Amino acid sequence: MSPEEQILALRNELREHNYNYYVNDNPTISDFEFDKKLEQLKQLEAANPEFFDPNSPSVRVGGEITKNFETVKHEYRMYSLDNSYSKEDLLDWEQRLRKIVDGPIEYVCELKYDGASISLRYEKGVFVKAVTRGDGTQGDNVTANVRTIKSVPLKLRASEVPDKFEIRGEIVLPWQGFHKMNQEREAQGLELYRNPRNTASGSLKLQDSSIVAQRPLECLLYQLAGDNLPVQSQYDSLNLARDWGFKAPAESQLVQSIDEVLQYIEHWDVARKDLPYETDGVVIKVNSLQQQEELGFTAKAPRWAMAYKFAAEQVSTRLNEITYQVGRTGAITPVANLEPVEISGTTVKRASLHNADQIEKLDIRVGDEVYVEKGGEIIPKIVAVELTKRPDNSSPTEYATRCPECDTELVRKEGEAQHFCPNELGCPPQIKGRIEHFISRKAMDIDGIGAETVGQLVDAGLISNYADLYDLTVEQVLPLERMAQKSAENMINGIQASKQIPFERVLFALGIRYVGETVAKKLAKHYKSMDALIALPEAPDKENLDLFADVSSPTEKKLEELTAIPEIGDRIAQTVVEFIVDERQQAILERLKNAGLQFSLSEEQLEGQTDKLVGKSFVVSGVFEMSRNDLKKLIEDNGGKVSSSLSSKTDFLIRGDKMGPSKLAKAEKLGITMISEQEFLEML
């Protein structure tokens, strides 16, 4: 890859992670890995300044605004913080400060609370608005939710407060409340929350503030913003905020030198474990507001502040056993069962070992003393093995060869890290997983059944595949635990109602590996009915073979037919063919068909579908007469492709009102044809 390609790839990847982290509150990589990639991007950008982009994740605050709340522009921007990891980093920072300001520098040390950033606005001493950091210039108006947090004063105690000001801080979920919420989820068989930060941030974005009110959130405040505030220093503002009735953290301290900063760090690296909430570092701020003003900001962060990140905590313990977990898709995950040990406030008994390669890489063996680390994830990981303490009689770990749930021999496809249990229709977790997927919101959307009920139904022997759902009766399900007449009826009605779900979603619900929502749509659109999709081309007639006859088998022909559809690759074609030639799957399909599920596109769907835009790629940007979704649907119905960002492969940019200037510039640079909504409609 060229440096440019590398830079673009990293930017895209980091944007995706930002989205998962800030918008979905569901990161897919650890903070450490994220920071490493960001650092890599910064270095590449520094070495190749010609590819500078003001929208790069390296120069932009990572968050985003969501569509669910009113967007509010910040009167004073909200910044991120620069990071440091060592004494040297801090000394370098001090050198940079000294080049800009004269005279002695005092610092305020504060803890870095790990929660969701928030700005509260007060007018005439009354709380009026709470806005998330968003992208730093604008955020989500989450006032109703923040109002439910008891430590946010709705009216200030002091009589003399500025007419108007903002105060910034962090909404955190203390450990105790976090553990309690997870205990409840565990009891209900729900997936556990990963960490207090994501849970706090996710809570703020709930639509129902009465649910937020039940969560034990707290609001810690540490930064004033406004004009002509009666303070000269950061330390004064903390004291003042406290007088006004805010929960300004008591752990902050005024110091005179970087040496004292280091003492503070050393102290709190240990003492923080006794705090009620999670912290991930120390924030050091230049105390004098006048010096702060001289120092100013970079695009992303103040020059007058620096975050120092604590190293993730590691502890050592003994590996007692390796067990294997079967996921809902049949993927096998090896799990380390550990001698219980305390890390950052939680007792850890298990850690993920990821896959066979990881075990081999670490050469980890039962009986080993291992180092366990807990980063931002709820599942800790094993980072190293203490080889000097390895017992003499230890032998290398042999990876499982059979499924622990159904004893089927495991397979590992080429190029894949994970082993799989191939017994899709007979392996209990997979049976449940397939049915859960089938009923899920984006698939058959069956009301009245949750994951827990599926478990009960399977365990009671009432169902073993999704076709069985359609034979269930109220009388059959009533004896299940916690099942009342009303809920039993709801469930059966929900199942019946799902017969109206359109064909493409039925196709998605089948859970054919790699056939996600988009692929299902493509297949539905191409074949128009299940019969056409599962039909195998004629076998060659052996009697009349001549020299030049096509001798490929029906399945080979089907593979070719599938891969000829745009964007259907070998991998998808392969799993589709495996599915349709499997007699057990055929029998299940037959039953679904007889039950009355939608096995073809409806008249309505077929209407208005053309091939007019086949092979054309569109980007839609701005505000239009018709809704954006209708516009996108129109493109897809006519065979076109909609993508979210401009590239050299884009054919048309449909340009609406209020389109951003950067998109415009990019489209011009790439020479992409721009058309109006009207011109697009004329194309059709």
Ligand X SMILES: NC(=O)c1ccc[n+]([C@@H]2O[C@H](COP(=O)([O-])OP(=O)(O)OC[C@H]3O[C@@H](n4cnc5c(N)ncnc54)[C@H](O)[C@@H]3O)[C@@H](O)[C@H]2O)c1
Residues of the binding site for Zn(2+): 403, 406, 421, 427
- Residue 360: strand, helix, or coil: helix
Rounded alpha-carbon distances, angstroms, from residue 357 to 402, 418, 420, 639: 17, 9, 14, 42
Check: CB of residue 207 under 8 Å from CB of residue 68.
yes
Q: How far is the CB of 86 from ligand X (least distance, A)?
A: 16
Q: How far is the CB of 280 from ligand X (least distance, A)?
A: 7
Asked if residue 20 binds ligand X (CB under 6 A), the reply is: yes
Nearest to 501 by CA among 432, 435, 586, 442: 442
Residue 307 partner contact from ligand X, Zn ion, none using kind-dependent CB cut-offs of 5 to 8 Å: ligand X
In sequence order, the 6+-apart residues with CB closer than 8 A to the CB of 411 are 419, 420, 422
Q: Answer left, alpha or beta for residue 197, where phi above 0 means left and psi between -120 and 50 means alpha.
A: alpha
Question: Residue 239: in which H helix or E strand, if any?
Answer: helix 234-244
Binding-site residue positions = 31-35, 80-81, 110, 133, 170, 285, 309, 403, 406, 421, 427
Residue 663 partner contact from Zn ion, ligand X, none using kind-dependent CB cut-offs of 5 to 8 Å: none
Asked if residue 34 binds ligand X (CB under 6 A), the reply is: yes
Per annotation, catalytic residue among 67, 112, 349, 558: 112
Judged by CB, which is closer to ligand X: 110, or 373? 110
Asked if residue 196 binds ligand X (CB under 6 A), the reply is: no
Judged by CB, which is closer to Zn ion: 229, or 406? 406
Binding-site residue positions for NAD(+) = 31-35, 80-81, 110, 133, 170, 285, 309
From the list 11, 21, 380, 488, which residue makes contact with ligand X (rule: CB under 6 A)?
A: 21
Percent helix, percent strand, percent coil in the chain, to nearest 5: 40, 20, 40
Buried b or exposed e, range 615-629, using 16+ CB within 10 angstroms: eebbbbbbebeeeee
Whether 67 is catalytic is: no
Residue 81 partner contact from ligand X, Zn ion, none using kind-dependent CB cut-offs of 5 to 8 Å: ligand X
Judged by CB, which is closer to ligand X: 29, or 681? 29
Residue 400 partner contact from Zn ion, ligand X, none using kind-dependent CB cut-offs of 5 to 8 Å: none
Q: How far is the CB of 170 from ligand X (least distance, A)?
A: 5
Asked if residue 222 binds ligand X (CB under 6 A), the reply is: yes
From the list 7, 10, 18, 65, which residue makes contact with ligand X (rule: CB under 6 A)?
A: 18
Asked if residue 430 binds ligand X (CB under 6 A), the reply is: no
Rounded alpha-carbon distances, angstroms, from residue 261 to 252, 293, 312: 11, 22, 20
The whole-angstrom separation of Cα 125 and Cα 123 is 5
Residues 68-107 that bind ligand X (CB under 6 A): 80-81
Residue 405 partner contact from Zn ion, ligand X, none using kind-dependent CB cut-offs of 5 to 8 Å: Zn ion
Judged by CB, which is closer to ligand X: 129, or 318? 129
Q: How many residues of this chain interact with ligand X, rule: CB under 6 A?
A: 23
Q: How far is the CB of 175 from ligand X (least distance, A)?
A: 16
From the list 10, 25, 27, 306, which residue makes contact with ligand X (rule: CB under 6 A)?
A: 27
Nearest to 262 by CA among 495, 400, 514, 90: 90
Q: How far is the CB of 357 from ligand X (least distance, A)?
A: 22
Residue 222 partner contact from Zn ion, ligand X, none using kind-dependent CB cut-offs of 5 to 8 Å: ligand X
The whole-angstrom separation of Cα 135 and Cα 618 is 27
**Phi (first) and psi of residue 449, to 5 degrees:** -130, 135
Nearest to 597 by CA among 483, 485, 506, 484: 506
Q: Which long-range contacts (CB under 8 A, 24 or more apart) does 625-634 make?
A: 625/677, 626/677, 631/677, 631/680, 634/684
Find the angle CA(222)-CA(223)-CA(226) to the nearest 5 degrees. 150
DSSP assigned state of 164 = E
Judged by CB, which is closer to ligand X: 36, or 180? 36
Give the pairing of strands 126-132 and 116-123: antiparallel
- What is the per-residue binding string for ligand X in 109-148, x denoting contact by CB under 6 A? -x-xx---x---------------x---------------
Check: CB of residue 115 under 8 Å from CB of residue 203.
no
Q: Which residues are catalytic?
A: 112
Q: Catalog residues that contact ligand X under the rule CB under 6 A.
A: 17-18, 20-21, 27, 29-31, 34-35, 61-62, 80-81, 110, 112-113, 117, 133, 170, 222, 283, 307
